[in-house]
Amino acid sequence: MDVSKVSEKLEESIESGAEIILVIVEAKKYVKTSLEILRFLTSFAEGVFVTLNRPYSSMKKLMEKEGIDYSKIIFIDSITRQLGGEEIDIERCRYLNSPDPTQMQIAIEQAMDMISAENRFIYIDSLSTISLYKSFETLLKFIRYITGKIRIKGFIGTIFSIEKEIDESYYSQIALMVDEVIEVE
C-alpha cells in the first residue's frame, strides 16, 4: 500500500472495529508514514505518542512544519535523556531514561489516564527500536501488556514497525495481539 493510502486504511480498520493496528513500513518511508498516521489520529482524537527514535523537540518541529496539532498529544520520549538533550514542555512530555519496557508501561498508563477525550489513541513508534534493547520475549510481554491496557481503556492503538528490522517469525506472534496489520510499501 502507498503512504497516501495509510489514513484511508486506518480509517477503514477502525470503522470495522479494529482496536489495535500494526503498521509495518519500509525504512525509506518511515518519516512520511509516521507523520501521516499522526495527522490522521489527531484529526479526530487526542492521545499518547511514544517516541523511541526521535527526540520530542525534533518531533514537535516536524509536526509544526506539517501542520499537525501536537496539542492533542501527550508525548513519552525515551531518547532525549539518553542523548543528554534538553527537556522542554515537561507538562506535555514525559522523559524516560531509556526504552525500558517497565518504565514505558508506567509512563504510558499515567499518560493514558490524562486523556479524557471520547476518542483516544496511543501510537508507539517503533516496535523495532524496543527490539534493539530487549529480548524478543520481553518485547512480547510488553506488547501483550500494552495491547491489553489499550483494549481495557478504550483507546485506538497504532503500533509502528520498520520492515525487516524484526524477524518475520516474530511478526506472526505479534500479529496475534493486534486486530489488523497494514503494510506500507
Residue-wise pLDDT tens digits, 113-133: 999 999 999 999 987 677 666
Q: What pLDDT band is residue 38 in, cutting at 50, 70 and 90?
A: very high
**Domain locations along the chain:** 3-184
Angle CA 57–70–77, to nearest 5: 40
Instruction: Please compute the mean of the pLDDT values over residues 97-108 and round it to a whole number.
Output: 91
Q: Are 161 and 127 in contact (CB under 8 A)?
A: yes
Residue 90 makes CB contacts below 8 A (sequence gap 6+) with none
**Number of C-beta neighbours around residue 1 at 10 A:** 14
3-184: what fold? Rossmann fold (3.40.50)
pTM, 2 dp: 0.92
